[in-house]
């Protein structure tokens, strides 16, 4: 691992190691350690796993809970207890979704960190760096290494996890009213120039709540609830730089996460208004019935939605001839389309074509 790679990793996770050996160890698989007589990252995986649980639980508690006096329907005669919008079971499910293997592997893939893994011959032969379990281990090992290096400074660890996992964006992305601008800008930058955007966040002097400055013109829906939840007078400015765009974008918020999201929103709106963003409509030149199955798969492979699934059911008409019914479903898309034909293939095409028309219309 050379100095350029080390610096790239540190910029990606938002943390500068005091002891670079710990960073290198976090990326060292057991197979490499055995062949080169050095320490591997397995203890870091254990530490990172536990630290990650704590950080995510803290995030959920702060986001969906607070003292009773922070809620608008608070009765002054009631004790100032801790209230949560969700029960234990729901919060547990939320936590599980954020720290599950696929999620951590997905984040490592987006950040392109697995390419720096130090692997032995066996790992290289089976392409271990492409496996979700290995990516999950790497995520946890990085968090564990940061925890050790910073002397268990929880605000520092929390910032690293926040940048690597982006829990609010990943969790709220299922909300119909939520747009993950941070993820959109990140993916655009990676596709355009192969580099991640840079976020510089500055804490502003404490003062009365106000809106304006660098984020003027941005709708402020959500700020009220944010202030109610966190009760923090600290304000933040974020400067966002995209390597291939000669323009700096700003954002303002009462948390670093909110400031970063606002800066990303500004940037995405600029990209969209100036023709940098390719829409889903641009991906398919001639949507048509005959090619609809393949065209849906193209959109899926390009990341617009998961791979479509098809369910078939066979019936018969009064003469005993087969009638095929097909349902097309896409995870995360609430609409289900149906096709019916004496031909199984045509039934599938009809379901696919109707779904294609739906996603193209929704994507406009």
Cα four-point dihedral sign 100, 106, 112, 118: positive
Q: Of 277, 292, 316, which residue sits at a domain end?
A: 277
Cβ–Cβ under 8 Å, residues 91 and 82: no
Residue 356 sits in the same domain as residue 234: no
- What are 277-335's pLDDT values in tens digits? 877 887 888 999 999 999 998 888 777 888 899 999 999 988 899 999 999 999 888 89
Averaged pLDDT for residues 76-96: 70
Residue 107 sits in the same domain as residue 156: yes
Residue 269 sits in the same domain as residue 284: no
The confidence band for 210, taking pLDDT boundaries of 50, 70 and 90, is very low
Residue 155 sits in the same domain as residue 233: no
How far apart are the C-alpha atoms of 196 and 217, rounded to whole Å? 26
Residue 199 sits in the same domain as residue 82: no
Residue with tokens 């599938």: 348
The SS3 assignment for 285 reads coil
- What are 36-72's pLDDT values in tens digits? 999 999 999 999 999 999 988 888 887 776 655 444 4
Range of the domain at 97: 1-175
Q: Is 140 a catalytic residue?
A: yes
- What are 112-143's pLDDT values in tens digits? 899 999 999 999 998 898 888 999 999 999 99
Q: Tell me the CA distances in angstroms from 301 to 169, 297, 308, one per residue in order.
A: 22, 6, 11
Q: Of 229, 247, 277, which residue sits at a domain end?
A: 277
Buried b (16+ CB within 10 A) or exposed e, 160-193: bbbbbbbbbbbbeeeeeeebbbbbbbbebbeeee
Q: CATH number of the domain that 57 lies in? A: 1.10.1520.10
pLDDT at residue 227 above 70?
no
Residue 116 sits in the same domain as residue 48: yes
Q: What is the pLDDT of residue 336?
A: 94
The confidence band for 7, taking pLDDT boundaries of 50, 70 and 90, is very high
Total domains present in the chain: 3
Catalytic residue among 49, 137, 149, 166: 49
Q: Tell me the CA distances in angstroms from 184 to 92, 179, 205, 269, 278, one per residue in order.
A: 28, 9, 30, 11, 12
Catalytic residue among 40, 123, 137, 140: 140
In 10 A of CB 56, how many CB atoms? 20
Residue with tokens 């893994």: 117
Residue 168 sits in the same domain as residue 190: no
Q: Of 262, 277, 292, which residue sits at a domain end?
A: 277
């Amino acid at each position: 691992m050379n100095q350029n790679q080390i610096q790239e990793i540190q910029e990606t996770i938002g943390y500068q190691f005091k002891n670079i050996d710990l960073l290198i160890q976090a990326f060292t698989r057991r197979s490499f350690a055995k062949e080169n007589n050095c320490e591997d990252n397995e203890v870091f995986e254990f530490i990172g796993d536990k630290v990650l649980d704590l950080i995510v639980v803290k995030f959920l508690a702060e986001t969906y809970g607070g003292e009773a006096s922070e809620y608008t329907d608070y009765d002054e005669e009631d004790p100032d207890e801790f209230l949560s919008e969700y029960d234990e079971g729901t919060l547990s499910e939320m936590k599980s979704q954020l720290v599950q293997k696929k999620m951590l592997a997905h984040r490592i893939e987006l950040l392109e960190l697995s390419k720096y893994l130090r692997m032995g011959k066996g790992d290289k032969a089976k392409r271990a760096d492409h496996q979700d379990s290995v990516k999950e281990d790497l995520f946890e090992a990085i968090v564990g290494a940061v925890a050790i290096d910073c002397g268990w400074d929880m605000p520092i660890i929390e910032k690293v996890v926040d940048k690597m996992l982006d829990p609010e964006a990943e969790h709220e992305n299922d909300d119909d009213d939520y747009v993950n601008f941070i993820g959109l800008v990140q993916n655009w930058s990676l596709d355009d120039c192969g580099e991640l955007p840079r976020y510089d966040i500055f804490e502003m002097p404490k003062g009365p709540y106000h809106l304006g400055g660098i984020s003027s013109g941005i709708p402020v829906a959500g700020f009220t609830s944010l202030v109610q939840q966190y009760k923090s007078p600290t304000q933040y400015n974020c400067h966002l730089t995209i390597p291939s765009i000669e323009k700096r974008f700003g954002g303002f918020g009462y948390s670093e996460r909110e400031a970063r999201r606002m800066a990303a929103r500004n940037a995405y709106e600029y990209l969209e208004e100036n023709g940098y963003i390719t829409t889903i409509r641009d991906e398919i030149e001639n949507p048509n019935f005959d090619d609809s199955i393949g065209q849906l798969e193209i959109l899926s492979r390009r990341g617009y939605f998961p791979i479509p699934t098809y369910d078939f059911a066979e019936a018969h008409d009064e003469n005993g001839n087969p009638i095929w019914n097909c349902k097309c479903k896409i995870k995360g898309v609430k609409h289900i389309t149906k096709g019916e034909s004496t031909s199984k293939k045509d039934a599938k095409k009809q379901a696919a074509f109707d779904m294609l028309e739906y996603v193209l219309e929704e994507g406009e």
